A and B are shown apart, each in its own frame.
Chain A
Amino acid sequence: SQELEQSPQSLIVQEGKNLTINCTSSKTLYGLYWYKQKYGEGLIFLMMLQKGGEEKSHEKITAKLDEKKQQSSLHITASQPSHAGIYLCGALSPKGAGSYQLTFGKGTKLSVIP
């Protein structure tokens, strides 16, 4: 089965600093999703990447997909306390009957110090 490794596991940054979270897959990536989760709450969809070299941005968050390396990175510019939470990457894995299901990494816990 596909395994996703996220690094780092946790991160503490000063407000205003830039940071990067990585997600590496053990198998071919068919689609890579990024979610954010605040403690005790549900998952908020951030971005989805499907093609090698694809890059998407939303406000101060940019995600890139390196298909050859089977890796995605999430970059936050000028971090704010509102960016704090757990970031999860999920990848589409082929399952039975030709379907693809999302499997997830263990998450990266981000704390932003004012």
Chain B
Amino acid sequence: NAGVTQTPKFQVLKTGQSMTLQCAQDMNHEYMSWYRQDPGMGLRLIHYSVGAGITDQGEVPNGYNVSRSTTEDFPLRLLSAAPSQTSVYFCASRRGTGDTQYFGPGTRLTVL
């Protein structure tokens, strides 16, 4: 199993540009989540999904969209990038509520 994969690893955007961060898992996990990690702020939940076709907002959803058309994929879309979205983004997945949550390697995004 590849586990949780994320692309790209690094990305630089200009303010106002849009882009999609890709996340995929091959463990047939129902739960998938997106987090951002900023210095001194820890990991904050952006959006999450409990299965294909079901998504919901986390703590910091503004400026981001998600969709879950398949069990495997959970892309995160930045609609109009802002410098405040400069961060490291992590995707995660787990089978169910009390199961181990696995994280991807992260995407380091810089918005100029």
Q: Tell me whether A45 and B42 are in contact (CB under 8 A).
A: no
Q: A101-B33, A102-B45, A104-B43 are in contact. Are A45 and B101 (CB under 8 A)?
A: yes
Question: How distant is B3 from chain A, measured CB to nearest CB, in Å?
Answer: 10
**A39-77 toward B: CB 8 Å interface, digit per residue (1/0)?**
001110100101000000000000000000000000000
Task: Judge if B41 is at the interface, Cβ distance under 8 Å.
Answer: yes
Q: Complex formed: what's the CA distance from A88 to B92 in Å? A: 15
Q: Which residue of A lies closest to B56 (CB)?
A: A96
Interface string of B84-99 (1 = CB under 8 A from A): 0000001010000110
**Band of interface residues on B:** 20 to 34
Q: How far is the CB of B11 from chain A (nearest CB, A)?
A: 15
Complex: how many Å from CA A67 to CA B56? Answer: 28
Contacts of B59 in A (CB 8 A): 1, 103
- Say whether B42 contacts A31, CB under 8 Å: no
In the complex, chain A residues whose CB is within 8 Å of the CB of B44: 104
With a CB–CB cut-off of 8 A, which chain B residues contact A33? 100-101
| Inter-chain CB contacts under 8 Å: number | 60
Say yes or no: B97 contacts A100, CB within 8 Å.
yes
Interchain CB contact under 8 A, A43 and B45: no
- Residues of chain A within 8 A (CB-CB) of B75 are none
B90 contacts which chain A residues (CB < 8 A)?
42-43
With A88-B42, A96-B56, A103-B45 already in contact, the answer to whether A31 and B98 are too (CB < 8 A) is yes
Q: What 0/1 readout, one digit per residue, does chain B (10-41) give for beta carbons within 8 Å of chain A?
A: 00000000000000000000010101000011
Partner of B104, one of A31, A42, A105: A42
A41 to B88, CA, bound (A): 10
Q: List 5 additional contacts besides A1-B59, A106-B41; criterion CB under 8 Å.
A: A33-B101, A41-B105, A42-B106, A106-B40, A106-B42
Nearest first, the 4 A-B pairs at minimum CB distance are A106-B42, A104-B43, A43-B103, A42-B105
Q: Which B residues form the contact surface with A (CB < 8 A)?
A: 31, 33, 35, 40-45, 48, 50, 54, 56, 58-59, 90, 92, 97-98, 100-106
Which residues of A does B touch, CB under 8 Å?
1, 31, 33, 35, 41-43, 45, 48, 50, 88, 90, 92, 95-97, 99-107
